Amino acid sequence: MKRTKVADLLKGNLIGTEVMAKGWVRTRRGNKHVQFVALNDGSTIKNIQIVFDMAKFSDDDLRPVTTGSSICVTGQLVESQGKGQTCEIQADTLTVYGTADVETYPLQKKGHTLEFLRDIAHLRPRTNTFGAILRVRSALAFAIHKFFQEKGFFYLNTPLITASDCEGAGAMFQVTTLPLNDLPKTEEGAVDYSADFFGKPTALTVSGQLEGELGATALGAIYTFGPTFRAENSNTPRHLSEFWMIEPEVAFMDITENMDLAEEFVKYCINYALEHCKDDIEFLQQMYDKDLIERLKFVVENDFVRLTYGEGVKILEESGKKFEFPVHWGTDLQSEHERYLVEEHFKKPVILTDYPKEIKAFYMKQNEDGKTVRAMDVLFPHIGEIIGGSEREESYEKLLARIEELGIPMKDMWWYLDTRRFGTVPHSGFGLGFERLVLFVTGMTNIRDVIPFPRYPGHADF
Ligand code: 4AD
Ligand code: MG
């Protein structure tokens, strides 16, 4: 007999037939006449109930069937007498694959804190909460590919090991095979990277954008979707050292179309999750965030507010609110500022544009005012910045001048500048932090809880 997944069993159309279910035991209860096992196999948040008629089984048969053990059951799928479930299995046979010791299996009782579960991240996918989060995460990843593929974008894979710092923030993880306690030195006493694996200093990428631009100026429209790494020492509920980013890049697209694309894209993803992850999102709403579905629908159904950074700063200055970080024209916005605009002032997602060039990356298109660049940040309730993007500087001369002004080493950048030397075009793109999207859609509050095995300062277990 072939195994049927719990999600399919619960659809009910196999009622009246002999089925086989496999999974992990969530709970067992009952008396000497009948025992009930709630079985979960990860295919859905719901369990299937297995009914053991103790006339057919002995106490010894059932003894190893404890929370966390893995079993295979065959039996009749019948309509359920109890409420809250459509059907259940009346067990004929039982095979125990693996036991889980009651004294040492950590997921015995319900209601562990999220902090505790982080310490056992290797087992937390077996909880309802993390099962739900991981299924939503998977659905969102699929929605992202679907959205771009249906629009004719090509999926481009950009390198993870790189010699250039796209965002110029210097927060990169070095990649080296040099012996750290016996470094080869040049005559001047510096580290001799010519002896290193790639013959030069390399690091894990902070963004695939620069290579994405190479793709866009050839294929027209591309998107990347891969891991990125940032060695910033940010111990916040919104930062990870290793996170996944989606970066579309489109030739012949200006900043306004870029905003339209970003808005359509996030709305599509959220809507996809609402439609395809109903059970999981309802569970998360019930457990963690009473307003979750309402908030998701609100974002999907309303236009985002668009204004310039300058206008945003003015609103913040005139708000009369005491911020931890004072704000004036020229300062980088902190999440408290972003959230004030979104949650208190506009009560809607906001797209800010035209930031001061000093606080943005070198590649952004310079505005005529000489002070600002054509940047755009999409700001979300509870999250702050969820997307960062821009129209790119397509003028070779202006880009070169900016690179020199910032002292970015030309030997790292010649290939990038070639896009502007040969057939340059206006183009734009943005980056969506995947975990920030998952954070928003699941209603969780800490980004460490929406990636299976989070990496953050001091933590690289599992
Ligand atoms: O704003 P960022 O730094 O922009 C870029 O990297 C551009 N190259 C994107 C582009 O235009 N193609 O990062 C983009 C997004 C942020 O808006 C945020 O959602 C997410 O990536 N992000 C992080 N997510 C988790 N942990 C971190 N440490 C993050 N840093 C950025
Ligand atoms: Mg940013």
Please tell me the predicted confidence (pLDDT) of residue 277: 98
Cα gap 270→45, rounded to integer Å: 19
| Residue 388 Cα to ligand 1 middle (Å) | 6
User: Tell me, what DSSP letter sits at residue 332?
Assistant: P
Rounded mean pLDDT, 325-343 = 96
Q: Is it the case that residue 86 has pLDDT exceeding 90?
A: no
Please tell me the predicted confidence (pLDDT) of residue 275: 98
Q: Is it the case that residue 234 has pLDDT exceeding 90?
A: no
Residue whose CA is at the smallest distance from ligand 1 atom 23: 433
For residue 232, give the ligand nearest its CA. Answer: 1
Cα gap 240→233, rounded to integer Å: 9
For residue 248, give the ligand nearest its CA. Answer: 1
Cα gap 138→133, rounded to integer Å: 9
Residue whose CA is at the smallest distance from ligand 1 atom 18: 433
Rounded mean pLDDT, 233-261 = 96
Cα gap 255→262, rounded to integer Å: 10
Q: How long a stretch of residues is the chain?
A: 462
What percentage of the chain has pLDDT greater than the value 70? 100
Residue whose CA is at the smallest distance from ligand 1 atom 25: 239
Interval 404-429: pLDDT, tens: 999 998 888 899 999 999 999 999 99
Nearest atom (ligand 1) to Cα of 206: 6
For residue 433, give the ligand nearest its CA. Answer: 1
With the most atoms of ligand 1 within 8 angstroms of its CB, the residue from 164, 173, 207 to mutate is 207
Rounded mean pLDDT, 77-82 = 90
Structure tokens at 283: 């569970």
Residue whose CA is at the smallest distance from ligand 1 atom 22: 433
With the most atoms of ligand 1 within 8 angstroms of its CB, the residue from 230, 245, 444 to mutate is 245
Please tell me the predicted confidence (pLDDT) of residue 166: 85
Interval 257-316: pLDDT, tens: 999 999 999 999 999 999 999 999 999 999 999 999 999 999 999 999 999 999 999 999
Rounded mean pLDDT, 315-341 = 96
Please tell me the predicted confidence (pLDDT) of residue 294: 97
Q: Tell me the DSSP string of 263-325.
A: HHHHHHHHHHHHHH-HHHHHHHHHHH-TTHHHHHHHHHHSPPEEEEHHHHHHHHHHT----SS
How many CA atoms lie within 13 Å of 88's alpha carbon, on the beta-carbon side?
Answer: 17
pLDDT band of residue 111 (cuts 50, 70, 90) is confident
> Is the Cβ–Cβ distance between 136 and 442 less than 8 Å?
yes
Percent of the chain that is helix, strand, coil (3-state, to 5)? 35, 25, 40
Closest C-alpha to 214, from 431, 388, 387, 429: 429
Cα gap 277→137, rounded to integer Å: 10
Is the model's pTM score more than 0.95? yes
Please tell me the predicted confidence (pLDDT) of residue 7: 97
Residue whose CA is at the smallest distance from ligand 1 atom 7: 431
With the most atoms of ligand 1 within 8 angstroms of its CB, the residue from 232, 379, 436, 448 to mutate is 436
> Is the Cβ–Cβ distance between 403 and 361 less than 8 Å?
no
Cα dihedral across residues 79, 84, 85, 86: positive or negative: positive
Buried b / exposed e across 356-385, counting CB within 10 Å, b at 16+?
bbeebbbbbbbbeeeebbbbbbbbbbbbbb
| Residue 223 Cα to ligand 1 middle (Å) | 14
Cα gap 132→257, rounded to integer Å: 34
Structure tokens at 413: 């950048």
Residue whose CA is at the smallest distance from ligand 1 atom 9: 431
Q: Is it the case that residue 85 has pLDDT exceeding 80?
A: no
For residue 432, give the ligand nearest its CA. Answer: 1
Nearest atom (ligand 1) to Cα of 241: 28
444 CB neighbour count, 10 Å cutoff: 24
Nearest atom (ligand 1) to Cα of 377: 17
Q: Is it the case that residue 82 has pLDDT exceeding 80?
A: no
Interval 138-156: pLDDT, tens: 999 999 999 999 999 999 9
Q: Is it the case that residue 170 has pLDDT exceeding 80?
A: no
122 SS3 class:
coil
Q: Please list every protein residue whose CB sits less than 6 Å from any atom of ligand 1.
A: 166-167, 207, 209, 230, 239-240, 243, 245, 247, 385-390, 429-431, 433, 435-436
Rounded mean pLDDT, 426-435 = 98
pLDDT band of residue 137 (cuts 50, 70, 90) is very high
Residue whose CA is at the smallest distance from ligand 1 atom 26: 239
Residue whose CA is at the smallest distance from ligand 1 atom 29: 239
Nearest atom (ligand 1) to Cα of 249: 12
Average confidence score pLDDT of the chain: 96
Rounded mean pLDDT, 363-390 = 97
pLDDT band of residue 9 (cuts 50, 70, 90) is very high
With the most atoms of ligand 1 within 8 angstroms of its CB, the residue from 224, 234, 243 to mutate is 243
Nearest atom (ligand 1) to Cα of 232: 28
| Residue 357 Cα to ligand 2 middle (Å) | 13
For residue 235, give the ligand nearest its CA. Answer: 1
Interval 53-71: pLDDT, tens: 999 999 999 999 999 999 9
Structure tokens at 438: 């998952």
